[in-house]
Chain A
Amino acid sequence: MSGRIDRVALLAVPGLAYLAVIYALPLLMLLAKSIQTAEGISFSEYRAFFADDYNIRVLLRTLRVAALTTLLALIFAYPTAFVMSRAKGPWLTVFLVAMVLPMSLGVVVKAFAWSILFRANGFINSSLQWIGLTEKPVRMLFTETALVVGAANVFLPFMVLPIYAVVRQMDRALPEAAASLGAGPFFRFFNVTLPLTLPGVVAGSAFTFSMAISMYVIPSLIVGERQQTLSMLIARSFLYLRNEPLGSTISAVLLGIAIFVVVFSSWLARRLGARS
């Protein structure tokens, strides 16, 4: 059968060509800049990047913010996915629209709306002062907490939908079987429901984490220049410092983290999947 071409596989050609020219090629050209120096190919840019304490702080902050954002989104998304999996007819539509609609609103609009909520004389502070919890306005805008809360909101759908897909597929008889075998609510959750929905949690966390480490608009609008993230460093290198080797080096670091997350999560998902 040699020489015979799978005709269905041909359908992938336009997509692959598009990805090669628009995605892979420019990315490789950009990454190449990080090791091209005046003295030829060298990793001096990487050494310089990791030698600078400031860069390490930004890197750690980026990872911390992404991890906390993922965790917060997970806390809100997990129960939501269960409620959604039980919703029927018009209620399911309401849920899905509520998930998808805010994505089309755009982050900029959302971020400005939050700043109204979070600022010194904003709604939250007025409420806190009115109840008497604080006397002075609490600083919320331009803090990491505000960034995590805001980012978790933006990425929530990417956490909910994969978990929802897994929960919906789960056989409803399984928790019932567990109950009839004498398992109380906690035992049921930790030994049946959670392990069976873990693949959805892994997928949702991988999505959310990879988007959160590379977010630019949300931190720029909520915390501004005071607390940089990797993406902001990249933008600054290219736009203000005109330092292409530095920008592409940080890009490569970010890409490396993203690749690690994707590979690790698919390994984890396969391992979990192999058991079920």
Chain B
Amino acid sequence: MALDQAKPTSRYLEAWGIGKSFKGTRVMSDLNFRVDRGELVSLLGPSGCGKSTLLRIIAGLLEGDEGSVVLGGRNITRFPAHKRNVSVVFQNYALFPHLTVAENVAFGLRARGVAKRATGAPVAEALSLVRMSEFADRPTAALSGGQQQRVAVARALVVGPDLLLLDEPFSALDRKLRETMQVELKSLLLDRGITAIFVTHDQEEAMGVSDRIAVMNAGRIEQFADPSTLYARPATPFVMDFVGLSTRIVGTVTSRDGEVITAETPFGLLKARSAAPAGARVLLGVRPELIEVGAGENTISSTLADVMVLGAKTVLHGTAEGEDRVLCELSGIRSGFARGQEITLGWKIEDTLAYEVPA
């Protein structure tokens, strides 16, 4: 099930046996989650999957019904949020509207009893780190989304947190700015060796910023792995669907030869590596960029339903019988394809993902 790739090095953050109910509805039970020191980890999943609940339990903003949270060897399960030394960057940044940029950044230091005079230097350093020095005396309402996020990050980091939690930090930014901020923030966190957990529903963002991603669904972690493993070897159909696009083909295993099964599908006979026994229902998946035009170990004939030239890639939508569709992405601009054209598509056996599914 959960394909945990954690090396047995320093288990810095450990949340184990976490359970939570809201008004009698169980949203999470016996969840285990571990992060190493200095790691950037994402909690990825659709809304309502429990990722924000887990984040809030780690932050101490929400109390779990069961389980423990251990951070750097300290059991902080019963600690209130303000005693955990865990900083949170909120989705809307939650800057204090009655304070200036510098006063916002100084807030955590002041709360820790640092005298007002002594906050000047660390605040100036934190603001220069996020390139917001010239905004120090501005009110926060006058800032753009990206600037507000920078201030929120500076405010969270200036206190030297043991752990940084970021709740959908990029979702309020437009696409271009989002990508810039991701790169900026990632290098900032890596340079300073900050251990951070991002919560996001955006798989590209998760893959871009994190060392490892925990894909969550219905209050459980479906898979916790590095981005390439997650993409190339998704542990469950849910992970395959949530991380990246894929063609899905349902079939029945007719025979097996060692580790390789042959399945009867609407597109004909297809082969894959799987432990599924003969007679079992299987879901086969292929990533669109692994499909080539022409023959392969697995081959299907298809009618082109749509051709989209997107510049960096050309996307082919093929239909077979009925509702089943096949998605093929070719790099660059490709010509010579037209709607209604009959083409042959092929891919390798080892690129075929296979999951046994209930009949």
- Whether the Cβ atoms of B112 and A180 lie closer than 8 Å is no
- Chain A contact residue count (CB 8 A cutoff): 21
Binding site for B on A (CB under 8 A): 171, 173-174, 176-184, 187-188, 191-192, 195-196, 272, 275-276
Q: How far is the CA of A272 from the CA of B98 in the complex (A)?
A: 8
Given contacts A176-B61, A182-B85, A182-B108, 5 further A-B contacts (CB under 8 A): A173-B94, A178-B82, A183-B107, A187-B110, A191-B107
Could you say which of B97, B139, B141, B156 contacts A181, with CB atoms under 8 Å apart? B156
- Whether the Cβ atoms of B111 and A184 lie closer than 8 Å is yes
Of the candidates B61, B86, B165, the one having the most CB atoms from chain A within 10 angstroms of its own CB is: B61
10 contacts across the A-B interface (CB closer than 8 A):
A180-B81, A182-B82, A182-B159, A191-B111, A192-B96, A196-B98, A275-B97, A275-B99, A276-B97, A276-B98
- Whether the Cβ atoms of B88 and A176 lie closer than 8 Å is yes
- Whether the Cβ atoms of A180 and B86 lie closer than 8 Å is yes
| B residues 78-96 in Cβ contact with A at 8 Å | 80-88, 90-92, 94, 96
- Whether the Cβ atoms of B97 and A176 lie closer than 8 Å is no
Q: How far is the CA of A177 from the CA of B167 in the complex (A)?
A: 12
DSSP majority for the A interface?
A: helix
Question: With an 8 A cutoff between CB atoms, is B59 at the interface?
Answer: yes
Could you say which of B87, B88, B92 contacts A171, with CB atoms under 8 Å apart? B92
- Whether the Cβ atoms of A196 and B97 lie closer than 8 Å is yes
- Chain B contact residue count (CB 8 A cutoff): 31
Known A-B contacts A176-B88, A177-B88, A178-B111; A183 and B82 likewise in contact (beta carbons under 8 Å): yes
Question: With an 8 A cutoff between CB atoms, is B155 at the interface?
Answer: yes
Known A-B contacts A187-B111, A191-B107, A196-B97; A181 and B159 likewise in contact (beta carbons under 8 Å): yes
Binding site for A on B (CB under 8 A): 59-61, 80-88, 90-92, 94, 96-99, 107-108, 110-112, 139, 141, 155-156, 159, 165
Q: Which partner residue on chain A sits nearest B99 by CB separation?
A: A275
CB distance from A198 to the nearest CB of B (A): 9
Known A-B contacts A182-B111, A182-B159; A171 and B94 likewise in contact (beta carbons under 8 Å): yes
Q: How far is the CA of A110 from the CA of B112 in the complex (A)?
A: 50
- Whether the Cβ atoms of B94 and A275 lie closer than 8 Å is no
Q: How far is the CA of A182 from the CA of B155 in the complex (A)?
A: 11
Could you say which of B88, B97, B98 contacts A180, with CB atoms under 8 Å apart? B88
Could you say which of A173, A184, A272 contacts B82, with CB atoms under 8 Å apart? A184
- Whether the Cβ atoms of B92 and A173 lie closer than 8 Å is yes
Q: 6 tightest A-B contacts by CB?
A: A181-B108, A183-B111, A177-B94, A173-B94, A179-B81, A180-B88
- Whether the Cβ atoms of A176 and B108 lie closer than 8 Å is no
- Whether the Cβ atoms of B87 and A180 lie closer than 8 Å is yes
Q: Which partner residue on chain A sits nearest B139 by CB separation?
A: A275
Of the candidates A178, A188, A196, the one having the most CB atoms from chain B within 10 angstroms of its own CB is: A178
Q: How far is the CA of A122 from the CA of B138 in the complex (A)?
A: 60
CB distance from B280 to the nearest CB of A (A): 48
Q: How far is the CA of A178 from the CA of B104 in the complex (A)?
A: 10
- Whether the Cβ atoms of B92 and A176 lie closer than 8 Å is no
- Whether the Cβ atoms of A181 and B61 lie closer than 8 Å is no
Q: Which residues of A contact B159 (CB under 8 A)?
A: 181-182
CB distance from A92 to the nearest CB of B (A): 18
- Whether the Cβ atoms of B94 and A179 lie closer than 8 Å is no
- Whether the Cβ atoms of B107 and A275 lie closer than 8 Å is no
- Whether the Cβ atoms of B90 and A181 lie closer than 8 Å is no
Q: How far is the CA of A182 from the CA of B139 in the complex (A)?
A: 22
